[in-house]
């Protein structure tokens, strides 16, 4: 059994796009640019993390 051939997809998915444009291409930093690239580590409390996780992951079935 032979598979049909594949051709290049013309429909751009957001995943493809983000994977390309977020960290590839010409990189410019310094005084002339407004945006800041490559943000350093910023510290924040554990409580915030847990709060965010809670938002993202509502309690599993059966848990209170």
Partner 1 sequence: MSEKTGKYLYCFIKAGESEDIGEIGPGQGEQPVYTVHHRDMAAVVSDSAEEYYDPVGKNAMCHQNVISAVMAKHEVVPVRFGVICKSMDALNKLLEEIYPAVMTNLERLHNKMEVGLKLFWTRDSFVKEVGESNEEVVALKNKIVELGPDKGYLLMIELGERLQKIADEKRLYYIENIYRGLQKEAVESRLNDIVGERMVLNAAFLVDKAGEEQFDLAVNRFYDIYGRTLEFKYTGPWPPYNFIDVKVD
Partner 2 sequence: MVLGKIFLSPFKGLWWVFEEIYWRVDEELYDEGKLQRQLLELRQSFELGDIGQEEYELGEELLIARLRTARERKLEQEENEGEVEDDGDDSI
Residues of the shown chain interacting with partner 1 in the complex, contacts defined by CB under 8 A: 2-3, 5-9, 12-35, 37, 60
Shortest Cβ 3–partner 2 spacing (Å): 20
Q: Toward partner 1, which CB reaches closer, 1 or 45?
A: 1
Exposure string for 7-44, b = 16+ CB within 10 A, e = fewer: eeeeeeeeeeeeeeeeeeeeeeeeeeeeeeeeeeeeee
Shortest Cβ 1–partner 2 spacing (Å): 25
Residue 43 binding partner per list partner 1, partner 2, none, with a CB distance cut-off of 5 to 8 Å that depends on partner kind: partner 2
Handedness of CA 18, 23, 27, 29 (dihedral sign): positive
């Amino acid at each position: 059994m032979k598979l049909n051939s594949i051709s290049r997809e013309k429909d751009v998915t957001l995943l493809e796009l983000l994977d390309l444009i977020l960290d590839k291409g010409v990189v410019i930093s310094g005084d002339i640019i407004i945006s800041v690239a490559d943000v350093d580590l910023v510290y924040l409390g554990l409580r915030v993390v847990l709060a965010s996780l809670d938002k993202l992951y509502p309690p599993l079935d059966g848990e209170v």
